[in-house]
Amino acid sequence: FEEYFENTLNYINEIKKKGPKENAYLSVILGNTNLDVSNSNDMFFTTNDNINLLRNLDKISSHYALGHFLILKLALKNFENYFMQGELTFFSWQKILQHNISDRFRLLDIMCDADGINYSKKKRRKSYLKNNKNSSCDECNILEFLIHHFNKYQMELITNIYQEDFNTQVLLEHNHIKEDFLKFMCNDIDSCNMYSSNNFLTEGINVIPVESRSSYSSSINPFNLETNFFIFTKQYNYFSPKKIIYMHFLNLTGLLSSLKKNFFIIS
């Protein structure tokens, strides 16, 4: 890790000395990918059906998603404490999100301050904004803010999707939430294309023509990025509120289950 970060910083310093051209820093990580995106004349992604552009945006979001970026900054800043002396414990952003709502904050406490772990009886979502942040680094403060709002997003989705035949709970294991949702939508946790499921098609106006359903195979990976994005761009404006919640919940189950290709709505 240390060698990788040092090489990257040295490479960027060399670029600075030569007088970098536009996009030079982006190309360190992304090569020519960022050029394809920058040259696009249609950056409103909900109306752009260019699959190559989609792939490039996915690569960029993987590198620049705020939570991942801040975790990398922490890894560089506290490299010795994390990886050599072992005074602090390191967790990736994905690993933090895989834990339950309360434990996400505790993992962040362990990463940021081994001696100051907050085990307050008060709910963290109600107390964290009142705490004195002066002793914490900027990265940890921002990560705490992100976790707080991700938790709110998760709880709002679970509250709004709750119904008689799908009554998932916040404290369920993430894998069980995913399986329950796929079973609810398709009655099958192994082969489920949500957009062809009966629960989805019978909710509100059916905007997927019958003759085109065969193009969305029932055996498709439910978290396939390109399929989800294609349907999102073409038909999102016509979805009922319930269908929109189903889309977001599908995305949430992918995030919680560490299905990285499911980051097309949240990052």
How far apart (Å, rounded) are the C-alpha atoms in residues 81 and 188?
A: 46
Q: How many CB atoms lie within 10 A of CB 36?
A: 16
139-191 per-position pLDDT tens digit = 888 888 888 888 988 898 888 888 877 888 777 788 888 888 988 988 888 77
Which of 64, 81, 114 marks a domain boundary? 64
Does some domain include residue 236? yes
Does some domain include residue 120? no
Query: Could you tell me the residue range of the domain that residue 254 belongs to?
Result: 162-262
Instruction: Report whether pLDDT(82) > 60.
Output: yes
Does some domain include residue 6? yes
Does some domain include residue 41? yes
Report the domain count for the chain: 2
Does some domain include residue 187? yes
Which of 9, 40, 64 marks a domain boundary? 64
What contacts 174, CB < 8 A, 6 or more positions away? 98, 253, 256, 257
7-24 per-position pLDDT tens digit = 666 666 676 666 655 555
Which of 30, 48, 64 marks a domain boundary? 64
**Residue carrying structure tokens 């394809």:** 36
Does some domain include residue 75? no
User: What is the predicted pLDDT for the residue at 1?
Assistant: 46
